[in-house]
Structure 1
């Protein structure tokens, strides 16, 4: 690991984690075409944690309100005088995120098989082409008005299924979930907001699983790598924050599908290069 590699991987993580172009797909292709070594598990954990922080900072008010309402809801469950009337939006959003996360537990049953697909650059390139098709259709499905106030459990379960499918390397998580949100009638801004908030338990859960693997592995932290890791984290977090802003801006203007052309270009160029022996 070098400072340059740490910076490059941090930049790729910050951009591709939030822009609908698949971070896992890009890392696979970078490793294949440029011979980049796969980063160790600890570095992966730190990069994902940095992007997790980027979401928390961007949606700070939402996150704080949801945490407070989560504990208030638990308090109401054991209270003799629970709150009545319509629940606050933040409390309803907590429920919608919990339901939307449920399909990931099914994915856990085939986790190893899904991860193995990432070792095939051909498969990843084809998945990028599929991502492009999904994004191209997304703008044509936009225009709904559902928000956290009136989205149904069926709506968010379908978005959660899209998130589960997006664990396939080359399929963009944000692309699939935002497009699914628009397909079920979410307001464009709410589709983006829900997608990124939905990523919090998913990324946190995946990070905790990786932490468990790192703790169980032999060997400690190599001398001198911590500053390199911190460089990657800072870049991933800062770039990730501005990537979230860009996605919100483009989605609100109905130009979210513009990323389709990039995914198609990346997929086609990668396939041509692979079949030419590169």
Structure 2
């Protein structure tokens, strides 16, 4: 990988991890469309660590509050709004973990193609548009119930299919249950933390078993640029989403999906 490729892929990862447009799709596409070499497992770990640090630092106050409330009240009958929300994040993570383990090899074998990405990019983009158009936007994030958490968690599990977008499908589910746009995005970002952390740990274990040499400069640059772009993305997205809605991202997904279909069939 050249320095240009390292920086561009890191920025793509940081932006698309939290925008509803699919990070996995955008990291697969350079090798499919531009003929770039696959970035490799070590680089994937580095850019995901950068994204993880960004979301954890941005939501550091929420993380401390939720964690403290869960340890104080999570196992008692006197639940607080924060301890309940912490439980909903735990519950919402379980489906993604189970389906991720069950279908990881199948997805790696059959799901990482431009055609699959094109179909899921368009299909789930239209679903996001429908959810945003029909959304009642009457609930805040602390009004989520355990049934809502399971529903959003099951939606998150679908994101193992490249092109779906983990943030996109969880925001779609959040809008469907009546969350306002900012709350849907906030819960999606909080829900991403254990998933990204778990995926990063698994990838790190695989990396430790790999015999290849590690390009530490690529990893450092990748993590740094991923962190900066992810933090900026979270900040701007939460500031703007209530005003601009999901339509710009839907339009982008439709254009991207159509371009991929042309690439596949022409």
Unaligned runs of 5+ in 1: none
Write the deviation string for residues 67-120 of structure 1: whole angstroms up to 9, x where unpaired: 22233246xx5xxxx6x74x3332111101011111113312111112223432
CA distance in 2, matches of 1:159, 1:41: 28
**Matching residue within 78, 83, 93 for 1:91:** 83
Please tell me whether residue 133 in structure 1 is matched to residue 145 in structure 2: no
What SS does the corresponding residue of 1:269 show, helix, strand or coil?
helix
What SS does the corresponding residue of 1:102 show, helix, strand or coil?
helix
CA distance in 1, matches of 2:83, 2:110: 37
**Matching residue within 97, 105, 113 for 1:105:** 97
Higher Rg of the two aligned structures:
1
1:37 corresponds to: 37
Q: Which moved more, 1:7-16 or 1:240-249?
A: 240-249
Q: Which moved more, 1:185-194 or 1:42-51?
A: 185-194
1:4 corresponds to: 4
Please tell me whether residue 227 in structure 1 is matched to residue 220 in structure 2: no
Write the deviation string for residues 166-196 of structure 1: whole angstroms up to 9, x where unpaired: 1100111111001100101113221111000
1:173–1:88 Cα change, 3 Å: same
1:149 corresponds to: 142
CA contact (8 A) 1:11 1:235 kept: yes
Q: Which runs of 4+ in 1 moved over 6 A?
A: none
1:65 corresponds to: 65
The alignment of Structure 1 onto Structure 2 pairs a total of residues equal to 265
CA distance in 2, matches of 1:111, 1:268: 27
Normalising by structure 2, report the TM-score. 0.93
Please tell me whether residue 212 in structure 1 is matched to residue 205 in structure 2: yes
**Matching residue within 229, 233, 256 for 1:243:** 233
What SS does the corresponding residue of 2:230 show, helix, strand or coil?
helix
Normalising by structure 1, report the TM-score. 0.89
CA distance in 2, matches of 1:241, 1:142: 27
CA contact (8 A) 1:70 1:91 kept: yes
- 1:61 deviates by 0.6
Instruction: Write 1 or 2 for the structure with the bigger share of helix.
Output: 2
CA distance in 2, matches of 1:73, 1:6: 44
CA distance in 2, matches of 1:114, 1:247: 29
